[in-house]
Amino acid sequence: MKNALRSLMFMGLAVLLFSSAFVMDRTEVVSVAKSAGRAAWLTSLGFDLLAEHDGRIFLVASPEDLARLADLRLPFRDETARLRAGHPAEPAPAGGINGDYHSYRELEAELTALAQNYPSLAKLSTIGRSLEGRNLYALKVSDNAALDEQEPAFLVVGCHHAREWISVEVPLLFARHLLEEYARNGEVQDIVNRGEIWVVPLLNPDGLEYSIHVYRYWRKNRRLNADGSFGIDLNRNYGYKWGYDDVGSSGTPASEVYRGTAPFSEPETDACQRFFRQHDFRALVSYHSYSQIILYPWGYIDAPTDKDAALAEMARTMAELMRPVNGRLYDFDRAAVGLYTTNGDTTDWAYAESGIPAFTIELPPVDILHGGFFNKETDILPLFRENLPALLFLAQTAFAAPSQESGNERDERTAAPPRRGGDRGKD
């Protein structure tokens, strides 16, 4: 029965992969024989793993990836036609190619409307421009939004990675909830009155547009690299421990976790850095998908910070607040333990920069066989609703907390060697 269930889930994945709603231009799905350590090895080389099924490892492969597999003399099987067979494409969602998910222009229009409809509570700012010239928007929610009152602040960031469409929606819905509920919800009113909530729902607009219109699995930004490949992983481009090793990021431009040529080399991460330093942020959440887990520093190395117990307790509280909403249990752990090592990422940098509670929330599902990056449109509201109590809790905590000191360098002197992570979806 268990094997039959796994097969059903896998074939459900096949339907998602080849739905007409998700464009996969010039891309194949291939499989290679599974062996000890092969999944981790392929991940370290930058290949995009989907699932392990029936003794095979399935990956998304561009023409360049197929050439790399041939160069590695690794036999592979083309699974594309087999997965398509017997699974007619589903019609495109009524809302367009990305349905209820927001494109850059749709998000821009909604943020503008929120700021116009709630002028005393919301202020829309442009914190920079993307590589291709799109605005990077930040929406401020506060009781006197037009004024700089030097209040404590809470930052929620979405979509470092283009294919993680759901990571745009949860921050956006959080901002909308605060504005719509302010007049009738005492808890929301108290939070908004005590500080500034800043929401940056889309840090990678160029990548998102490419994911919508060209290649659904696109992850990075759209930087043309020196070798002719495209893209830098924005969540490996932050300054703290940038390039610490080639496990938590890669120096190879074609890799899905390519860190770029220098810390903050990308206009998107540079804008986030400058914006962060202009405000008194007391907590940060960076949304990603998938894995259904709450992560906290350190990610670059398997070692605790000096605030490990406090961060773990906050993560536990968040998970407990989220569970009753839909009955879904989020795991929680230090990033290097709970998922795999990452260097140059957002939350390590924010913690090292200011000592604040900083979390990566990997939204559901738990794995690729349950849908991976392809959340249903009907999942958007339930996923937001289960995250809302945790976000309100973090805002309350942030606005009650004094300013934090920077991360402690003694953490690094006593740290253990880096560990190789698993083969779950890369955050």
Integer Cα distance of 255 and 273 in angstroms: 24
Taking CA 155 as the corner, what is the angle to CA 154 and CA 156, rounded to the nearest 5 degrees?
A: 125
Of the residues 196, 266, 362, 386, only one is catalytic, namely: 362
Residues paired with residue 156 on neighbouring β-strands, in sequence order? 199, 285
Rounded to the nearest 10 degrees, the angle between the axes of helix 267-277 and helix 346-354 is 30
Hunting for tokens 């698993």 — which residue is that? 422
Q: In which order are the strands placed within the sheet that holds 281-289?
A: 122-129, 135-141, 196-200, 153-157, 281-289, 358-363, 293-296, 331-334
Placement of tokens 């901002």 in the chain: 175
Q: What is the maximal distance between C-alpha atoms in the chain?
A: 64
256 is catalytic: no
H or E stretch covering 289 = strand 281-289
Q: Distances in Å between the alpha carbon of 355 and those of 59, 117, 382?
A: 38, 35, 32
In 80-143, where do the E strands start and end?
122-129, 135-141
**Residues labelled catalytic:** 362
